[in-house]
Structure 1
Amino acid sequence: MTGLARTRDSLPEWRVRVLPYVPLAMFAVLGAVLAYLWKWPCRFGGAWNDGTLQFTNFCYTDIYPLYYDRRLSEGQVPYFADVPFDKHVEYPVVLGWVMEVISRLVSPITDVTARAEAFYDLTVLLMAVCLIVGVVIMAMLAGPERRWDALWYALAPGVILGAYINWDLAAGVLALGAMLAWARRRLVLSGVLLGLAIATKFYPLMFIGALFVLTVRTARWGPFLKTMGAAVGTWLAVNLPVMIFAFEGWSRFYVFSQERGADWGSLWFFFQQRQWPILGDPDSLSFLGVTSLALLCLGIALLGVMAPTRPRLMQLCFLTLASFMLTNKVWSPQFVLWLVPFAVLARPNWRALALWQAAEVWYFFAIWLYLVGLQPGNEHLGIGDTAYFIAVWARAVTVMIMMGFVVRDILRPDKDVVRRDDVDDPSGGVFDRAPDRFRMLPAAS
């Protein structure tokens, strides 16, 4: 041990900091490769060109068909393209520019099919880098004693199955980077990364609520406002040029989000298909979704200021994000990528996480078989409503179970494994060991 310590002391400081994360990065590489191999029947077997095989081989992705459908294959620039409104890119601007850059990189390839495959490959390569970096950032957020918890993000079955369905890993690395910068008290950087994350996928907006609640409790308004200023400034910097010069294309994401109906995976889809009173009313969907999310967030806010011991930042981030997913109009299979890091950082208990991952895997197979079953003549290859909705509810219930355990840990900090050995909030930044300035109930004795 003495020799090892001496060797460690002789290493440059940067190597001492980096070396502990190398094994985790390698596991993330393994996860990224396994995710690519899972798409083999589509990428190399031609199943993308068959509306049934891509589902029965469970290798569907949005990346390949959207290259054609959003006219990137024709050289059209996202948002600025002269196309029908429903053919504009339906994602926030950072993803639109990612798609544009990769489209330009593959444009010298003359064969359109080879060009689309190269577009997919380069996109996957970028998403793989995002996964690897995200795993390392998650390990840093977890702290030296719990860095191996990041293995869940590297190798969880739901991550491997859903990694390359869409561009969600890009938003994930930005959101995790914002949280790490906050933990390291790099407030402007945290705001910049958070603004970019929200301009990539909308869900990181939920983390502002978690930061706000803990700011109310600790009265650390300076850091919060500084971070929010940088976030708003960054979001405006990347959005305003497109908003001004291509408003119709820019607005596609927001119009689509507001006008879309209940879609696959969501609880609202179940209520509507089963024609439940009130909850299944399509005309009330937007109101029900916003109201239910607002009520859940209000409950989380009250929990944050009433709990005898201040909650950890990752606990509130997980609760707000899970609430967003439960009340959303759509719950796509790849949304598991949003939640895994924050679920683990909130409560690294393998039993509940394994149960949830089993439900995610079950849903992953169920959604593709359900879509096959909806195709005329393919009913014998797929599943019906009952089997599908059992999978929908299994996923939702396991997320609710994890939420219940996190609430229990907040109310009884002695049950929180992260807070053992006199640890307070390793990811909390300015909240770590901060005294309460506002609390609705007496402190825990």
Structure 2
Amino acid sequence: MEPTGSDAGSRTVISPSRNDPLVHTLSEAVGGPLGDHAAPGILRSGWWTPELVLLILTTIAAVGGVLIKGYCRVNGWSTPSQFYATCYSDFPTLFAERGFADHILPLFSQGQPFEYPVITSLIAGISALLVPGSGVTPARETAYFDINAIGLAIMWMIAVIATSRSNLRRPWDAVLVAIAPGIILAGFINWDLWAVALLSLGILAFARNRPVLAGIAIGLGTATKLYPVVFLGVLVLLAIRTGRWRQTGLTIGAAIVSWAVVNLPAIIGNAHNWAYFFEFSASRDPGFSSGYYVWNLLADRMHWARLSTPTVNVMFTVSFALCCLLIAFVALHAPRRPRVAQLAFLVVAAFELTGKVYSPQYVVWLIPLFALAHPRWRDFLIWMAAEALHWVAIWMYLGWTTSNGPVQNNIDTPYYVIAVVVHMMAVVYVCRHVVWDIYDPSIDPVRRSRQDDPQGGEFDGAPDAFTLSGRPSAPVPATEPAA
């Protein structure tokens, strides 16, 4: 007997062709939206499940991401051709320059310090041990890239499935992750997808009310790339608003323990090399595509004062702190409690926008959070178009600066600056829509689906205990889904 009424409605899988305006319009070219009498999620489709489709799409996208590197895989990873061919990856460069070709294991070998956290350092070193042969050769550099690309493709799939399972009524939102142009273009530059997968698993565990597992995943993610740690701040804000601290406390405690477990051996074994990541982050000059780097480029042309590294460190600390205060105000002031994914997207976006460097692959940090926070295809494609423009511009700019070629045959500095500004404006554009969704739940795609906070764990459906308005109240019922 099929479920009916509210029970059926609570289990129905939301179809993008019904729920997303752009997909609804585009579906007319292939027969129109899903029919009124279809009941995905209630009527089983056999083995042809959303997760299988998502894995197939991710595999196709991953193959496309590797094919983009085809020129370098055939002709070698040399400068400036790897920039002009837009096939640059950190893997061959690090393999040749950080001693990986000589079987040096970062943090645990007496050699050049490695500017990455512990787990990333282990991934980099262990994957090098799998490369046959010895010495630095083009074939070994390509093999190192291929080995890491396989690992990244697996992490991509894990992130897709974790995103899909984080909202069982909206599994198709994970298509945004599976075929994201930003991941296709930049996912195989560095090891960021490992941290993305771990944070996605942490969000899934938190959504399933498994705080210890969530904390372990977040702690390991922080030991891979630093940014997952900001997710813990989101939980603190929502715990303040709801007065529910148990799950947040367990998650934070497990995160600290798991981070410590993987870091302590490195600290004991080689404290100097372990600390190098933090020293490097503090002492490095403003990096490519950051607002500070753009200012210095303009300063060189306009004869303005350049920003020194200590000044940039202070500006980053202050600007990120101010952004966090604004996000905290939104979290505690909005008429209805924001969702976990919404606040997570805002704080990670603030971390990227105010950071000292914006490497092209940093876009992958935000994509799974976007799929959970604001799953709207129109805004997603606008944002991805801006990121693709930046992706092309930075390689052309690096090709020019490394080849010393004439400006007439390259893009000059102003065009690169414009691309960086467009990328930053696109991220702000998405953040604005997320804030609008917070203050007006009737336009929030998730809450229009009769859900409160699918990733919220114990926060899901919780009444307010404290708000800045001084009028704590129970959550307003979600509005009806769009026709």
TM-score range, shorter chain: over 0.9
- Which residue does 2:210 correspond to in 1? 186
Aligned-residue offset at 1:274: 2.0
Contact 1:369 1:381 in 2 (8 A): no
Q: Does 1:319 align with 2:346?
A: yes
Contact 1:370 1:382 in 2 (8 A): yes
The 5 Å alignment of 1:139-288 reads 139-144=164-169, 146-275=170-299, 280-288=307-315
Q: Does 1:341 align with 2:365?
A: no
Contact 2:102 2:135 in 1 (8 A): no
Q: Distance in 2 between matches of 1:259 and 1:347?
A: 36
Q: CA RMSD in A?
A: 2.3
- Which residue does 1:21 correspond to in 2? 51
- Which residue does 1:39 correspond to in 2? 69
- 1:44 is paired with a residue whose SS is helix
Contact 2:101 2:135 in 1 (8 A): no
Q: 1:357 to 1:9 in 2, by over 3 A?
A: closer
Q: Distance in 2 between matches of 1:378 and 1:164?
A: 30
Aligned-residue offset at 1:372: 1.5
- Which residue does 1:116 correspond to in 2? 141
Of 268-277 and 117-126, more deviation after overlay is shown by 268-277
Instruction: Identify the match of residue 437 of structure 2 among 405, 409, 417.
Output: 409
Q: Distance in 2 between matches of 1:365 and 1:421?
A: 37
Aligned-residue offset at 1:19: 3.3
Q: Distance in 2 between matches of 1:237 and 1:282?
A: 32
- Which residue does 1:51 correspond to in 2? 79
The ranges of structure 1 where at least 4 consecutive aligned residues each deviate by more than 6 angstroms after the TM superposition are 8-11, 276-279
Contact 1:137 1:177 in 2 (8 A): yes
Q: Distance in 1 between matches of 2:369 and 2:320?
A: 18
Q: Distance in 1 between matches of 2:414 and 2:43?
A: 61
Of 312-321 and 297-306, more deviation after overlay is shown by 297-306
Contact 2:101 2:136 in 1 (8 A): no
Q: Does 1:295 align with 2:341?
A: no
Aligned residues: 432
- 2:201 is paired with a residue whose SS is helix
CA-to-aligned-CA distance 1:125-145 (integer Å, 9 cap, x gap):
00000001111111112332x
Instruction: Identify the match of residue 126 of structure 1 among 151, 160, 166.
Output: 151
- Which residue does 1:60 correspond to in 2? 88
The gaps in structure 1 that reach 5 residues or longer are: none
- Which residue does 1:437 correspond to in 2? 465
Aligned-residue offset at 1:80: 2.9
- 2:49 is paired with a residue whose SS is helix
The gaps in structure 2 that reach 5 residues or longer are: 3-37, 477-483
- 1:401 is paired with a residue whose SS is helix
Aligned-residue offset at 1:248: 1.3
Q: Distance in 2 between matches of 1:113 and 1:45?
A: 9
CA-to-aligned-CA distance 1:10-53 (integer Å, 9 cap, x gap):
99xxx88x93311111101111110011100011232x0x2111
TM-score, length of structure 1 as denominator length: 0.92
Q: Distance in 2 between matches of 1:20 and 1:27?
A: 10
- Which residue does 2:18 correspond to in 1? none
Instruction: Identify the match of residue 391 of structure 2 among 364, 367, 373.
Output: 364
Aligned-residue offset at 1:114: 2.8
Tell me which protein shows more helix as a share of its residues.
1
Aligned-residue offset at 1:344: 2.2
Aligned-residue offset at 1:259: 0.6
TM-score, length of structure 2 as denominator length: 0.85
CA-to-aligned-CA distance 1:235-267 (integer Å, 9 cap, x gap):
000001101111111111101110111111111
Contact 2:342 2:372 in 1 (8 A): yes
Q: Distance in 2 between matches of 1:177 and 1:380?
A: 48
Aligned-residue offset at 1:110: 7.5
* Identical aligned residues as a percent: 37
Aligned-residue offset at 1:362: 0.3
